[in-house]
Amino acid sequence: MYNHSELKEVIDRALINLSYNTEASRLIDPVKYILSMGGKRLRPVLALMACNLFSDKIDNAILPAAGIEVFHNFTLVHDDIMDQATVRRNSPTVHCKWNVNQAILSGDVMAFISNDCFLQAAANDLAKVLRVFNKAAIEVCVGQQLDMDFEKAPVVTQSEYFRMIEMKTAVLIAASAKIGAIIGGADEKDTDLLYEYGKNLGFAFQIQDDLLDIYGDAKTFGKTTGGDIVANKKTFLFVKASELAKEKQLKQLQNLFSIQETDPGAKINAVRDIYDQLSIRAITETLANDYISRAFSMLDKVGTDPKRKTELVNIANSLIGRDQ
Amino acid sequence: MYNHSELKEVIDRALINLSYNTEASRLIDPVKYILSMGGKRLRPVLALMACNLFSDKIDNAILPAAGIEVFHNFTLVHDDIMDQATVRRNSPTVHCKWNVNQAILSGDVMAFISNDCFLQAAANDLAKVLRVFNKAAIEVCVGQQLDMDFEKAPVVTQSEYFRMIEMKTAVLIAASAKIGAIIGGADEKDTDLLYEYGKNLGFAFQIQDDLLDIYGDAKTFGKTTGGDIVANKKTFLFVKASELAKEKQLKQLQNLFSIQETDPGAKINAVRDIYDQLSIRAITETLANDYISRAFSMLDKVGTDPKRKTELVNIANSLIGRDQ
């Protein structure tokens, strides 16, 4: 059994050692740049953990797991263009460091570098793995579409919000766990359970991410920015608050989210006041916890020795800031 | 054996019947739009012809062939953004009809719709087919990179030009023929020959395309526009003329290709005069013919009944305007 930090190291090494086999350094430099920015590598680590749940041999899962991370970074490069984001992980985004055309094209090539990584899966598993991956990749595009549509929508319901984060975030995390399980040799029942485990984890992860934007503990999670509020992003907190708000609060909230505030600090404080009045923090924390519990109930049903599940339990707890 | 028009019909039908399995019509409408623009469907038709060369059963090749066409159209959508092209096949380009963000995202989803089409290949062939496809897809991105780099380069040599069209155009046509052959059950020697047949066809196709821009016979090939000249595009004609030009002609040519001419007709005529002085038309026609001959010499070595090769011979001849 491998632990979390061993698996992260395996992935980091695999990403550094990716061979591009091309003379076009202008095309590939942005790929190396975004992949070198680091990060938790949540999706590939989950894929390896899910593989390791069923098999002591994880070799055939390493490149497919890296492929998932390359795909994820491809979506970041293109999303940053669409969102006109200038900074990612304290560095300039690809389209800012180079230009929009370069970011489109270097993003595109990542989609096929990613595809090629899956060919390391055993021939028997390949079609199954790719069916899961392609479905998730298409759904991630649907999720980005819904997210873009939300920007122009005056109202977003809870069910619309959940559909968006399901597509944009949860399905790829779900697919990561399922792909790992397939390569590890799990049967259909268990691969489906891993998918549901990952999906619930994905929901918890996104809701927690929404929460940390304003209530994050700098010590544990890094900087609190209120960036979502400044950008008028329709997060779970906003959607839930809109649902619970009395008439006057709703007007205030909609007004705050429709203007480009000149004083971001004042705007963040005003929104936080409304959230506090409506107990949004506690509601959100409870919901993230619920999703983690649902993830665990899926994991419980998986037919392996419970001891093998420790890493998948720990990573879930760590996502919502629980001590391990 | 199927003839050309039967195979084109098969592909057109497959593209119309593609199932997208998603609620996001905003995402998919641009996909349907670009795929409905029509065109020769050269790549998928070649794939089916290559499959049919080895097998009377082409069913397993239909969706993979359609996938190649979806991929090709994905590159058109993104290239049109990068080139700021406003018109394609007499209709507005996707980013003009919708917007740049929509064109990026709807392009992206096409990459994965395309991937998913390959899963119709038999399990035994899948890894082989995808290895060929992914390699070509990555090389097409390299080709677009080289093409973008050319815009800023003062000089482009013949070998640089051929490397660019090899990557941007020839390898996908080559991969189409090879993928069809693999699915048709050809052995390695024959699939490699089909690849080389396709690659030579691709070179001929691109050189002919460069030629038709200025010397096209409106009756046979559609409108002659001189669009490449107006856009200062470094075509084979320009590269060859630059190589053959005497000092004074070279200066004229470089001057003509460095300015934004206010009178496009005058510019086209001036460039054509230089090309005529240097016999560029005859040189280009000879070269396109050479590539077709090389394609035929590859096809000759393929170990099937020569009668089965008729369609692959005819389509090659038709690409350079030879009567069939």
Model pLDDT for residues A83-128, shown as the tens digit of each residue: 999 999 989 999 999 999 999 999 999 999 999 999 999 999 999 9
Q: Residue B235: left if φ>0, alpha if ψ -120 to 50, beta else—which one?
A: beta
- What local confidence, expressed as pLDDT, does residue A186 receive? 98
Q: Which of B31, B63, B98, B115 to mutate to test the interface with A (most CBs of A within 10 A)?
A: B115
pLDDT of residue A322: 76
By C-alpha distance, which of A60, A75, A63, A48 is closest to A15?
A63
Residues 6+ apart with CB under 8 A from A267: A226, A229, A230, A256, A261
Whether the per-residue pLDDT at A271 is higher than 60: the answer is yes
Residue contacts between A and B (CB atoms, under 8 Å): 123
> What is residue B157's DSSP assignment?
-
All residues of chain B having their beta carbon less than 8 Å from the beta carbon of residue A138 are 21-22, 109, 112-113, 116
Rounded to the nearest angstrom, the minimum Cα separation between A232 and chain B is: 19
* CATH (domain of B96): 1.10.600.10
For residue B135, being part of any structural domain is answered with: yes
B153 has a pLDDT exceeding 90: no
Residues A152, A90: contact at Cβ < 8 Å?
no
CB contact under 8 Å between A112 and B27, yes or no, is no
Average pLDDT over every residue of A140-162 = 93
pLDDT, position B216: 78
Stretch A126-150: mean pLDDT, rounded? 96
User: Domain range holding A253?
Assistant: 4-319
Task: Pull the structure tokens for residue A230.
Answer: 């400044």
- Output the pLDDT for position B65: 98
Q: Is residue B324 part of a domain?
A: no
pLDDT band at B219 (very low <50, low <70, confident <90, very high): low
**Could you give the number of structural domains in chain B?**
1
Give, in order, the Cα–Cα distances in Å from A288 to each of A14, A237, A291, A322: 32, 12, 5, 11
Query: Cβ neighbours of residue A119 under 8 Å, at least 6 residues apart?
Result: A63, A126, B127, B130, B131, B134
CA B225/CA B212 separation, integer angstroms: 9
Per-residue pLDDT of B200-215, as tens digits, reads 999 999 999 999 988 8
Work out the pLDDT band at B57, boundaries 50, 70, 90: very high
Most B CBs within 10 Å, among A125, A138, A146, A172, to test the B interface: A138
Q: How confident is the model at residue B106 (pLDDT cuts 50, 70, 90)?
A: very high
pTM of this prediction?
0.95
* B102 located within any domain: yes
CA distance A285 to A318: 14
Question: What is the rounded end-to-end Cα distance, in angstroms, of chain B?
Answer: 18
Buried b (16+ CB within 10 A) or exposed e, B267-301: bbebbbebbeebebeebbbebbeebbebbbebbee
User: Is the pLDDT assigned to residue B322 strictly greater than 80?
Assistant: no
The minimal CB distance from A142 to the residues B22, B75, B134 is found for: B22
| Chain A positions in Cβ-Cβ contact with residue B29 (cut-off 8 Å) | none
For residue A324, is it within any domain? no
User: Scanning every residue of chain A, which has its alpha carbon at the shortest distance from the alpha carbon of B82?
Assistant: A101
What is the DSSP secondary structure assignment for residue B87, as one 8-state letter?
Answer: E
What letter would DSSP give residue B88? Answer: E
What proportion of chain A, given as a percentage, has pLDDT over 90? 83
d(CA B70, CA B67): 5
A112 at B interface, C-beta within 8 A: yes
Greater confidence (B127 vs B259) lies with B127
CA distance A105 to chain B (A): 7
Which residue is listed with tokens 């479905």?
Answer: A135
- How far does B142 lie from chain A, in Å, by closest CA? 6
Least confident of A106-120, A303-317, B222-236, B275-289: B222-236
Average predicted confidence (pLDDT) for chain A: 94
Exposed / middle / buried, residue A240 (Cβ in 10 Å: 0-12, 13-18, 19+): buried
Residue A184 scores a pLDDT above 70 = yes
Decide if pLDDT at B226 tops 90.
no
Assess whether pLDDT exceeds 80 at residue B324: no
Closest CA to B62 of B135, B19, B21, B8: B8
In terms of average pLDDT, the best of A207-221, A295-309, B147-161 is A295-309
List all residues of chain A from 128 to 147 with a beta carbon under 8 Å from chain B: 130-131, 134-135, 137-139, 141-142, 144-146
Q: Is pLDDT at B262 greater than 60 in this prediction?
A: yes
B9 is a domain residue: yes
Residue A82 near chain B (CB below 8 Å): yes
Interface test with B, best of A105, A110, A139 (most B CBs within 10 A): A105
Biggest alpha carbon–alpha carbon distance for chain A: 61
Say what the pLDDT of residue A230 is: 86
What residues in A contact B100, CB-CB < 8 Å? 100
Distances (CA, A) of B33 to A108, A138, A286, B91, B104: 21, 18, 45, 10, 14
Q: Chain A closest CA to B107's CA: distance in Å?
A: 9
Would you place residue A261 in the very low, low, confident or very high pLDDT band (cuts 50, 70, 90)?
low
Residues ≥6 apart with Cβ < 8 Å to B194: B50, B53, B177, B178, B180, B181, B186, B298, B302
What's the pLDDT score for residue A18?
Answer: 94
Of the candidate ranges A18-32, B108-122, B272-286, the one whose mean pLDDT is the lowest: A18-32
- In which band, very low, low, confident or very high, does the pLDDT at A220 lie, cut at 50, 70 and 90? low
Confidence of residue A227 (pLDDT cuts 50, 70, 90): confident
Residue matched to tokens 């929508």: A153
Is pLDDT larger for residue B224 or for residue A204?
Answer: A204
What per-residue confidence (pLDDT) applies to B179?
98
Q: What is the DSSP letter of B167?
A: I
